[in-house]
Amino acid sequence: MALVAKTEKCKLAEAEVQNVTAKKLRLEKDVAALSTSADKFAMQAEDKSDLTLVAKSNSLRKSAKEKTVELSAVVKLLTDKQQELLNM
């Protein structure tokens, strides 16, 4: 019975690791997309001398920075979950 419980715990931990890994990948894509869009708006703002585009660029950069902070937390969580899985 104890072996079955340990196997179930291991499966749950593996599922958690997969979920956190998927979240990490999504956040990485989001940060990359936000940064690319921010760069694009900055270039357009420079070409057109349009302050609204500068504001959009800055807003996207702020969002990217927030996502980067969230990504750091997810990376730490992933590391912890992987360590937990190894210790089973």
**Residue 5 located in a structural domain:** no
Give the chain's domain count: 1
Neighbour tally for 83: CB within 10 Å: 9
Angle in degrees, CA 55, 61, 65, rounded to 5: 145
**Residue 7 located in a structural domain:** no
* Residue-range definition of the domain harbouring residue 29: 17-86
Judge contact between 22 and 13, C-beta under 8 A. Answer: no
Residue-wise pLDDT for 26-49, tens only, equals 999 999 999 999 999 999 999 999
**Residue 11 located in a structural domain:** no
Higher-scoring residue by pLDDT: 53, 84:
53
Cα dihedral sign, 37-38-41-43: negative
**Residue 2 located in a structural domain:** no
Indicate the pTM of the whole model: 0.85
Judge contact between 68 and 31, C-beta under 8 A. Answer: yes
**Residue 4 located in a structural domain:** no
**Residue 6 located in a structural domain:** no
